[in-house]
Structure 1
Amino acid sequence: MPVTKVTRNYQITLPAEIRKALGIEEGELLEVELEGEKIVVKRLKRRRKTLKLGERLTPEEIEKVIEEGMEECMQ
């Protein structure tokens, strides 16, 4: 079983074998929950489409992405 250490800034490093098994990449967001005495770390599921700089979108596509984001915020 992999072991990790809490740093003086209260950070931990996910062991490489865990990151590789789950396909976790740098910059990904993870959700942390407490279940009794267990710390549960889950990949944060983004439902909202992210846009890349320079991506060519029609005004209709932009409007749709905005509407979806607003709906997500209201949930």
Structure 2
Amino acid sequence: MPVRNTVRRFIDEKLKITRYEFSERTGLSKTTVYSLYDNPEQIPNGIALNKICDYYKIQPGELLEWSED
């Protein structure tokens, strides 16, 4: 799949928080957060994307990237 999520990079490099903290702040379930974090091929659904973007005031492009792989 050419589009991948960059949630792991966002959490680890930009926010420097735990997955648990990310879940608590955004209101996403731990299952969703851990799944997105561990699997870059999983694309967040609209609800998850909206929650993350709304809480952190970011554009969806900060969480998704296109790759030729």
More helix by share: 2
RCO higher in structure (CA 8 A, sep ≥6): 2
- TM-score between both structures, scaled by the size of structure 2: 0.26
- TM-score between both structures, scaled by the size of structure 1: 0.24
